[in-house]
Amino acid sequence: MLQFIGRRTRGEKGLLQILAVTATLLWLGGAAIGAYGSPSAGVLVRSFAILILFLVAARRPSLLRWTFLCMLAGVELGIDAPHLATHGRFLGDLFLRLIRMIIAPLLFATITTGIASHGQLRSIGRVALKALIYFELVTTLGLIAGAVAMNLSGAGWGVALPNNGEPILPQQSALDWQQTVLNFFPENIAQAVAQNQILQVAVFSIFFGTGLALLAEGKRAPILAILQSLADTMFQVTRIVMYLAPAAAGAALAYTVGSQGLAMLLPLGRLVFTCYAALAAFCVLVLLPILLFFRIPLRGFVSAVSEPAAIGFATTTSEAALPLAMERMEVFGVPRWIVAFVMPAAYSFNMTGSSIYLAMASIFAAQASGLHLSFAQEVAMLFTLALASKGVAGVPRAVLVVLMATASVIHISAAPILLILGVDALMDMGRTLMNVVGNCLACAVLARSEGEFAYQEKQR
């Protein structure tokens, strides 16, 4: 009897997967019909496809399925009712506010308990050194991947720039390494929390956790118990907030499509295609070998990161995925002290998707400006941008902020940078997804290097 139920369940699962794929293809077909044939027929086909996906999600509910369904529904709403779609932005803003509400206490509780309960400060220092080396290696490969992709594509050549001269930009101060390093350390922890400075909160938590670890057991235990309860509570709050994630993802896409339209992608479609091709190549040529080399279970890793990555993709911000990513990595088998230490640091030093986007955007701007850069000039430009980009995690449109701030230093016109704004939302989706996946992988890799990756033991 149990075997029969098991076979029926597996058969039902396969059928639902086939229905999901069919409905997705049907929706794409409806989009093509609406664009090149009858708009009303396209709406009918796409609505039928969304209905099928709704039935699949209702039969086997999961955060990922509901998020994907709401993303398609959001695009549909943006196409069919753009004026209504633009009013749904508040759902995305509400979700991000709730996420930002969670981040500071969650980071503080998990980092301090991770360090204080682990007790071996030498191990933490060793992981920190490994993490910095790993981050710099992977982000450098990301810069190279973005530069190679854009040089092969040449998407910036022949782009028509505005003829009304250089656009007027807000004055941007040059970023120097001393100010960048100072920005890592909070002068007021309350201000750092209020401004949602993730790295500053993490630095304070490291000092606090280290001080707590140096106390005698009798003095440390009461505070540690309170912080452990706080960490567990914040993970429960995260689960509650994540119920809003699908609606927020759909609202974000509905607003983007409704306010700018799908036509915004056509002039810069080659740039967008190059971006996603570079991200896919980076996954295959860099992240997959890292997974295999460190013996990280591929299927388990994909299952663990799929939901945080989907949320990051739809909301275009890594912050939205941070609490859920931390929880998923701990369930995946990475010890809490590694997750709590590595994940916040990765959000400033291991932004692999941002590195790819940054390299592509800078070379695209140079090509659109008519600049033929030599190999040495490209290397110098990428090195400058890599240094300037540290510490900007959580800044909206961070890549463009960095490019604007350093445009005069690397002799790039601001006009093509502003031109990228037309497709920045779509490229930000891929960038954020890659950041989330890369940061989760960093946690698993460092746990494996320390011999504390517990996934295989859990599966037994």
| Residue-range domains of the chain with CATH | 2-87 (no CATH), 98-238+264-459 (1.10.3860.10)
Mean pLDDT of 425-441: 85
DSSP state of 283: I
Residue 235 has pLDDT above 70, yes or no: yes
The interaxial angle of helices 198-213 and 217-241, nearest 10 deg, is 150
Nearest Cα neighbor of 367 from 412, 429, 335, 325 is: 412
What pLDDT is stored for residue 17 in this prediction?
75
Residues 360-382 have a mean pLDDT of 80
Q: Has residue 290 got a pLDDT over 80? A: yes
Question: What is the pLDDT at residue 281?
Answer: 93
> What per-residue confidence (pLDDT) applies to 176?
57
Number of other residues whose CB lies within 10 A of the CB of residue 277:
13
pLDDT at 246 over 60: yes
Average of pLDDT values for 390-396?
Answer: 50
93-102, 181-190, 347-356, 411-420, range with the lowest pLDDT = 411-420
390 vs 444: which has the higher pLDDT: 444
The pLDDT of residue 193 is above 70: yes
Of the pLDDT bands very low, low, confident and very high (cuts 50, 70, 90), residue 444 is very high
Higher pLDDT, 308 or 37: 308
Taking the CA atoms of the chain, what radius of gyration do you get in angstroms? 23
In terms of Cα–Cα distance, which of 313, 287, 316 is closest to 440? 287
Q: Tokens 């929880």 identify what position?
A: 327
Q: Does 422 score more than 90 pLDDT?
A: no
* C-alpha to C-alpha distance for 137 and 149, rounded to whole angstroms: 18
What are 137-150's pLDDT values in tens digits? Answer: 898 898 899 889 98
> In 3-state terms, what secondary structure has residue 351?
coil
Integer Cα distance of 445 and 296 in angstroms: 8
SS3 274: helix
CB distance 436 to 321 below 8 Å: yes
**pLDDT, averaged across the chain:** 77
Q: Do 352 and 434 meet the contact criterion of CB atoms below 8 Å apart?
A: yes
Are the C-beta atoms of residues 251 and 84 closer than 8 Å to each other?
no
Instruction: Indicate if the pLDDT at residue 456 is higher than 70.
Output: no
User: Does residue 369 register a pLDDT over 60?
Assistant: yes
Confidence of residue 282 (pLDDT cuts 50, 70, 90): very high
> What's residue 441's pLDDT?
93
451 pLDDT more than 60? yes
Note the pLDDT of residue 165. Answer: 42
pLDDT grade for 296, boundaries at 50, 70 and 90? very high
Of 10-24, 163-177, 270-284, give the range with the top mean pLDDT: 270-284
Of residues 241 and 458, more confidently modeled: 241
Tell me: pLDDT of 89 over 80: no
Q: What is the mean pLDDT of residues 162-178?
A: 48
pLDDT at 68: 78
Average pLDDT for residues 64-92, to the nearest whole number?
A: 80
